[in-house]
Structure 1
């Protein structure tokens, strides 16, 4: 039996190992089956001796690992222990990536790279791109090794093969690349790097670690081949994203600094749609809205960098090309060796030098293509390319042409003719849009797509031109018909100015015209950019909120009020009560309230990014205390949250995709772990949670996000049974049936839905009917759908109920309420730039309710 002294020594040993961060070193000793003598030497020298100092900061490898042969010779007396430890330590020396410095790995290095899995997803002239998964604890995105990721993370890694002659200047040139990605000043629209790695060899490999994009601009346009003529807001959103991208280009040209703070100029030299990556913008809220995509410049393999203290560095000289480019007349030391439709004329002229104005030309070509896409869709690119090829006089597709009579160059006639066509098409959609498009395209011809480098404007001017174009677009309104009997909400604080702003009914092109659709535009301040919205269970009220303001719209009373966040107050208006809770807890990530409004649950996030499930009951205090800070128009509501509990969760908030309360005591958390969804059912009293993995993996031919939406399904008045419908990848439904909290659910996986893309789902009270928002294959129109599930081996049946008349690309929410014998579907749509619409559809006849 261990004595008290033995236990005290064991505790002291554990404390010392932890203090000196020797856990990994001890693990190697055990794994290598070193002798008892080696264990004693480890204790005497490292644990209780002074050879292992306290490691104050975490590093990219465990303390004292990898151990060199020289170090092991000093530590262990037996040669076999030295050999076994050295040979077996590599699995314990996986790097924590994300260092701000260049990581060098020698061919005989004991350090290993922490790739769980990798998949090639792209390649170019200079490099190959892989999607790699890094285990938890082995990546930091900000250079802080004390805060590594707490779950596996998928990123992109681009590998370049270094040329043999680059070894001498390689570190200096790589520093230039790192300055682009992680300099003192950064830009949201430039792809940030997590780290840089060089694996020495013959030849050496240089790797950049970056966020993994959802897709690039070229692929985005291919996947979304059409923009409806009435969809002005989508075109505005594209112009807005392009303006942000122009700001990033201006940053590269004029506002970058080195890590030492010196000014640095970068010429990208390879601007094209495939090098513009598109990410879901985590600063915003939705998973499907065009608005919630952020465009980033990427692929700086051909870039040239210049600072005050050094001459221009051509980064392409560092790397081998993977295939031979077409020959060029340009000097190999001055110009890119190859032909590309986005390159300017100086790329093929001997003696001419490429610089930042070459990027301006390329960006102008991209703008011309984007306006073609907005006007004619993806199919317009083919005819536009043929026109440029025909007019170039060189049998090459480019945006300039060779003028045989003047023996010189000028803008391609096919470009000018295309612009005239786009202006005409825009004017047919709306006179105001015609003015906006003409302004931008003529500015392109007069200031950007100029043969003379020096005459081209800078990127800052392009930002101004796009901003002015957006301002002109603000006067463009979709032409919508007015329906006489519709009504709309109004503002409490603006009763004197009550007026109808948009009472619309849009006729369907199909047999859906008889559907009774009411539509109104919410009266809001355009300066307010709402983060999210929610509809009350009875469908009467809709609330939108920013970080500072809640706006409540009441369909029945025709009243709204903007209420700033305060402590627990209620409005004094007799028509409704609004309670605002100031909860002294960590940052709220998600929130759900039970249908009876008696319970709430939310996901909290502490300063270290760790999530917790917070639950509580909403209770009324019979004797509320006065609140001195209360404004006169508010009073202490006497409402508080009791029975508060918080349970630490093992996953970061970014992996939690949905939280809902089905009843006052039961709810669900949907979690994405890598490429698998899991459902966690929990009860509030007593607090408990159980997990059910769905084993649904993302397929290569489906680019949709793994989690789409979820809804609770009522179960024939059986109190213990609960049912859940989960939509995944916009095409597949999971049906989970719980006979009780303690029992495992029955999971039915229906075959994928064909010909439709599901965006949102909702269930109808007191029935087992499922409604959805979605779109039909080949169309971007937002539809209200009825989903009928049959046996597990039969595909769900989809019935179109209504064409909402807006693009499916906008952020939309679906709610269903039953008012007597009437079933109402309400769709809330954010159409960008302060335009928020609510659609109300009576679906009683269609559902037979």
Structure 2
């Protein structure tokens, strides 16, 4: 009774109300003034939320500290789905709880809309977000934003409720292909709207103050395209709208200043669910199917051209849907994923890990040819329309180089032209495709398509030489190439730099940039020896206590720019490591270690598992100084070779080249001594030139001495292969590489008395006879005096030679020479 009396006298009968006295939710101070004491204000505070529902305000952010004092205005809430940064719900807002300040009124009926919930980060810029909510949005192909609701770190955005997204539309809601030309026309018209929406994001947005706002969406894909059914010109039409700006970047221009905002950094990212618009097999790295090649760059290279690429990918899928429905979308995705160049990634481009630039996925052009042919079988006019737009996508949209892509406005114009061509075809029922008909026609079509696919997947390859200049600011002193040719390490005394095909996306006027760098962290130490595979890199230091740094490299060419070692091992009991070698399988490590007392004393061979460096052990003492090691390399995981500088030995003090084969399989060491031949046998100058091993018989090795004498010999006692020695006439050989089937050698060399460096092919004779030499290609810019590492990688169709060259004067190059198998 006392509370009721107080309420009546102080509120209902009060003549001099304070303007905020009865505002809900009420503050404790106000409640204490009204009710007095502590108990009643406490009860009111705990119960007042149910009398204070939140009102959503159109184009405005509403902020609430917590739900202890206010309740949510939803009559219903149903889960719809989740993305990388938020969860989407269908909500029904109670009447009079959605306020539109433009009309000065609220909803007179419950209103359904979509709500996407985010988790904000400390980087969230609320002033910028308010500008986005209030921006002048007038494009029918961009999802409107009704408003925002901030409750602590939870942030919700309200949007119109769509029928579905484009992925669900093509794969679930409308599985069969459009049956009439008019249906196809409508879909092309909807697709044209996406280009118009993209043009609006790039050039048409304005803030409430009239300043220009540019949005790079950066995550356009079918699941981010929402499908609405709207009344357009008196008829119901499907309108496609771009949504989900969680990955976007914004460029705001105000008062002559330009600021770029990373919208994606404002919200917490969760694990990305697989996009159902791709094939059933997800991408190995989780990268988006629809993102362009520039996404591989570690620099912020994605701009409006990246959105154009993504839209081009979507359009390519849409035309697959127009032809074959949802099954066509699925098969198209599998074809992209399973193409031999795709390396397990469903994307519209493929990378060349052997230092090549990205190019369009060959499966895309194969599929386009198939779509064009099928359209022509129905109608020459439709065939021409499909050819025109798909050719445009390849030539002007799906260009790996962003600067060569058209604008969204140009793409919209091309889609308008395609729309008009389809509209002129009239409302015709599509006839059965030839492949559905039995008999000879189907057989002939299958034969044609199979031959077409073989031709496109396995094109005739020509010999070609490519090279890239490295933008090095200081002289590198060494370089190594991984066995599969995908990673190249260059190093100075204090910095380690890795180059992959990713580096080609970061080319500047000074040359290509490294994909990753790691400066030596210990002052006074220097990088000494480095060995690597595509998965691991190990580097030793000198100038202090021996340390080894072990790095895990990711699968593929995408090295993290912030290269960090997975292990750092101090080996204070060992003297300096002269040379390291890592087996192709990335597990076994071997190193040549000097004597603790005198560097010219005999060295030792250590080996062990890279994962357990503390357990590395001495395998044997060597008969030669560690400082004389010239080459230490694994030909297989179980076969190690050591080559030392020429030594004087024997009663006649002949100069000999010690070559030692270590078999971890049989736990044997087999030495081979190559003696100097010819009139100049008394001199060691240029005696040892280069060394290689057979691939099929790793116990057989090939040496070149004095640049022209070739030696082939087995180091296995049970092998009856005779030794072969002969002169390479008219040529000087610098480096050797073995062909895939051990039937020939590839070499880098030159003609006698000439300076032009060449890639050569040397046939291996069955006995000591003269061998034929074939010149395959000139290597422009390479000099005889340049130091370089070499690697050959054999594929099904071709072999690729990779050279990493130290050219002096701070200049370095990477060469890639492609040699067809038929050569």
Structure 1-normalised TM-score?
0.46
The TM-score, its normalising length taken from structure 2, stands at 0.48
